[in-house]
Chain A
């Protein structure tokens, strides 16, 4: 029996444990998984003095309501999230990018993300979770990872193996920037599409559909007409690939995507824009902007430097 634990009063809509994800498994059909917004995941861990690859609780839209039991512990929330902290008889509004200390009986109520999708809750300690292929990341599709590969459920208890001795309170001033123009690199089947279809892809707006999840982001808008073939021989996918099925509506592959697909690939989202792409909420409009490989590489390098810089200041 662990003496430090969390009780889930309300699990939220899509609450899972995530970490850096798992690699070297595409060939057997297992995707990366891992935290969708990697930068916010890293910052959450840094704010509570964890190793940067520690598991955190990821939530989408409505988050969990948690009651904590045990000795004092720090926690932090990252993303654009509305949450409160209940201590005895007082309830205060929480601020993202600040760590807080809670003690026995305190509650964290993550009400919702604000005009974004994913948020992160890190606890300053080590959650007692099962690892599969060096990762606790939950893949609900194949029931892989901690919690038997299932979303968190009401009434569940999560134990902590260890609490960090470093309980320094930390804070940073990070602001999530929003993007509407998603930078993409031309896909390997770009020439499957009509001249008009290609023009639509780069010039028109698309709306993010409600049918988006950790596997993929579905888009609606003007149809992209395919002139060569609506199918290709099934082949590998990577995250960020934009497939266009016969109905002409693009689908962007996200972190839990199927590893093989048979629809033509019109483009691939540049790595630099992935963290911000996944935060675009259903109903929002997006546009694609073409960039070349060398610019994509340079932009990612700058983005990565910025992430490291942010982390070093915490």
Chain B
């Protein structure tokens, strides 16, 4: 449930669901997100669900904080809404040409490459949110012994398709972008496709993702 609603500036509501990051709190966030999105309240122009927060921004020409807050407070997000979550398999190639941070991970986690891959692959991860760059999924939770901090100095360019880890989360860089996560592999799959306007994101909040290893040859032939 929403613990507190405050204003983020003069054109957004900041709905706080608590400080913890877990599936149950995040599912609440997603429920509110989907309920409000379906109802199309006049003036609300964006909803950003994250681990444990929901930001609702609105057009100040059409509505204001008081109206939107009142609306959100009286929403019944408990009604059963179809979360419609999918289970997806993501091919990932962990060849040395892709796993740029494997040495660093071996050192930090004190695990061998084989053990790191074994711990990471073939497990179910929950998509908490998407964003930062278009379509980037934030997936969790990694095993306790797989948690590493961000790089001290972020890379200026992380290659498109990079599968990377930080703390309890994995993500996929949908575009070449700056970034500080530990890169473990690369997927040939297009996780974001702007030509599909109705469904540009392959992975959406609430979905479950499993990474399956592919060889370099399979990677090269993937899109042929």
Contacts and interface: CB of A to CB of B under 8 A. Distances in A.
Nearest to B198: A133
A270 B60 CA distance: 11
Nearest to B14: A188
B14 A297 contact: no
B50 A235 contact: yes
Contacts of A296: 9-10
Interface of B: 6-12, 14, 19, 21, 33, 37, 45-55, 57, 60-61, 64-65, 129-136, 138, 174-175, 177, 192, 194, 197, 200-201, 204-205
B22 to A, nearest CB: 11
A155 interface: no
A125 B51 CA distance: 45
A29 B133 contact: yes
Interface of A: 23-30, 32, 132-133, 141-144, 149, 185, 187-188, 233-238, 240-241, 258-261, 265, 268-271, 293, 296-297, 300, 304
Given A143-B175, A233-B51, A27 B131 contact: yes
Contacts of B8: 187-188, 238, 241, 265, 268
A103 to B, nearest CB: 37
Contacts of A259: 48, 131-132
A27 B133 contact: no
A197 to B, nearest CB: 20
Given A23-B45, A26-B57, A241-B9, A236 B131 contact: yes
Contacts of A237: 48, 55
Nearest to B7: A293
A307 B53 CA distance: 34
A280 B37 CA distance: 35
Contacts of A268: 8-10, 12
Given A27-B205, A187-B8, A236 B60 contact: no
A260 B46 contact: no
A27 B10 contact: no
A76 to B, nearest CB: 24
Contacts of B60: 271, 297, 300, 304
Contacts of A236: 48-50, 53-55, 131
